[in-house]
Structure 1
Amino acid sequence: MGEVLALVEARLRTALGEPDARAAVTFLGTDRIEVLRFIDGDLVRYATLGMSAQPMADPTAALADPVKGPRAELVLTVRAGLADTDKVLRPLAVLAATPQVEGVIVAPGASLDVGDPLWPGASFSSVLVAEPGGLVEDLELDEPMDPVRFLPLLPMTSNEAAWKRVHEAQALEERWLTQGTDLRDPRRGSVRLD
């Protein structure tokens, strides 16, 4: 477990630079999850560290495989200085603990919800898991372990989350794109959905 997390942290540092802050959260019955903060000009990036320590298990499997299975970490990028986004550390740790707590596999296209605003005054309580590979490349591990994927998170308003449940993730992403939505704006409202 420690070896995988050391490799993951090294990959994050290579892609994002040195973290300027980190926090750790432990939930009853789960492994420790850290959240690292990286400042990149006018952007702040938050990355989880700990979710990939164990593979995510298929909830329908009788036994969880301790070696094989998808592994991931979560990455959230927002514009710095527009909101108190550092309060997102605990919600991100909650999302990263979801595979251990709820026995789900977090994959692109999935919605994750914490039930409360991601940070004070945020109009988002959920996120859309986007496709990996852009900001931080997958981390290959020794066989038979699956690579660690770094999954970007896109904050969603409750209206967007409800619309996505009906129309699927790709349709929501297209709506954001065609309307020029700044997904990194921590103060943005819902995109037009009519």
Structure 2
Amino acid sequence: MTGVLARVTDRLRTAFGEPDARAAVTFVGVDRIEVLRFPDQAAGLVRYATLGMSAAPMADPTAPVADPERGPRAELLLTLRAGRAATDAVLRPLAVVAASPQVEGVVVAPGGSLDLGEPLWPGAPFTAVLVGRPDGSVPELALPAPRDPVRFLPLLPMTPHEAAWQRAHGADALTERWAGHGADPRDPLRAQVPLGP
């Protein structure tokens, strides 16, 4: 585990306590990605956090050479209502999203979306995620210069139609649509919101 990932682990433990489960996923040619599970029984939530994405900065796909030190770093957080669905199967899809900067050369940032093309867990209506802005649940982690800090970005599950609507209208429009219809993005059983023009 690199020094960065050790510090990220400490930051996650400070925010959420000890994880009760962790899974490692490896892809050919990609550094190992772990997903940690943090239960919050008092709030009725379960949080999943990636570990490994921040080991290297995300490179601008248009840059001729990737800078090994400078560039945005992030880990991903998915928070869901506990006990309502078999959401632990989301571990591999989360690792796929976390590996996308290395595999596809994408920069994962707030307002972006990633479509996995398959349910996030068995029976889920969600096949994509919207990358949200940091919500303060895990404060960003400063790293020694010239490295950028590690940001902890929430993921919000989307149905295929919501993902298509978001691409056409933008992330803010979709989150406003969710709020306007009282949708809880943390509810693994939530229905798709009505999507008009």
Q: Shorter-chain TM-score category?
A: over 0.9
Deviation at 1:133, TM superposition (A): 3.8
Letter of the structure 1 residue corresponding to residue 18 of structure 2:
E
Q: Write out the 4+ residue segments of structure 1 that deviate beyond 6 Å after TM superposition.
A: none
Corresponding residue SS for 1:78: strand
**In 2 relative to 1, CA 133–183 (structure 1 residues): closer, same or farther, beyond 3 Å?**
closer
- Is 2:49 the partner of 1:12? no
Alignment counterpart, residue 171 of structure 2, candidates 164, 169, 178:
169
Alignment-derived partner of residue 179 in structure 1: 181
RMSD: 0.8
* Distance in 1 separating the partners of 2:14 and 2:46: 16
Deviation at 1:188, TM superposition (A): 1.2
* Distance in 2 separating the partners of 1:173 and 1:6: 33
Q: 1:20-59 alignment to 2 at 5 Å?
A: 20-41=20-41, 42-59=44-61
TM-score, with structure 1 as normaliser: 0.98
Corresponding residue SS for 2:127: strand
Give the fraction of aligned pairs with identical amino acids, expressed as a percent: 71
Q: Contact between 1:55 and 1:70, CA under 8 Å: does it hold in 2?
A: yes
* Distance in 2 separating the partners of 1:52 and 1:104: 14
Q: Contact between 1:157 and 1:189, CA under 8 Å: does it hold in 2?
A: no
Letter of the structure 2 residue corresponding to residue 167 of structure 1:
H
Deviation digits for residues 23-48 of structure 1 (CA, Å, limit 9, x no counterpart): 00010000000000000021000000
Deviation digits for residues 81-119 of structure 1 (CA, Å, limit 9, x no counterpart): 111000000000000000000001000000011111000
TM-score, with structure 2 as normaliser: 0.97
Deviation at 1:134, TM superposition (A): 2.0
Unaligned runs of 5+ in 2: none
Alignment-derived partner of residue 126 in structure 1: 128
